Amino acid sequence: MTTDRIEALLALKANGLGAVGRDRIAMLEAIAKHGSITEAARAMGFSYKAVWDGVNAINNLLPRPALATQTGGRGGGGAQLTEDGRRLIVAFRRLEERLSRISQALVVDGPDDHADLLFWSMSMRTTAHNAFRCQVTSVRRAPVNVEVSLRLSDTNSIVAVITNDAADELAIVPGREAMALVNSSFVMLARGDDVPKISARNAIYGTVIERIDGGVNSEIFLDIGAGKTLTAVITKESAEDMPLTVGDRACALFKASHVILAVD
Whole-model pTM? 0.64
Residue 119: which pLDDT band, with cuts at 50, 70 and 90?
A: very low
- What one-character-per-residue DSSP string does 115-139 give? GGS---------S-SEEEEEEEEEE
Q: Mean of the pLDDT values across residues 49-66?
A: 86
pLDDT digits (tens, 9 = 90+) for 21-54: 788 889 999 999 999 999 999 999 999 988 988 8
Instruction: For residue 239, name the pLDDT band (cuts at 50, 70, 90).
Output: very high
> 144 pLDDT band (50/70/90 cuts)?
confident
CA distances from 209 to 52, 65, 147, 203, 241 (A): 11, 16, 31, 18, 18
Task: Rank 8-22, 29-43, 100-114 by mean pLDDT and report only the highest.
Answer: 29-43
Q: Once rounded to an integer, what is the mean pLDDT over residues 219-228?
A: 93
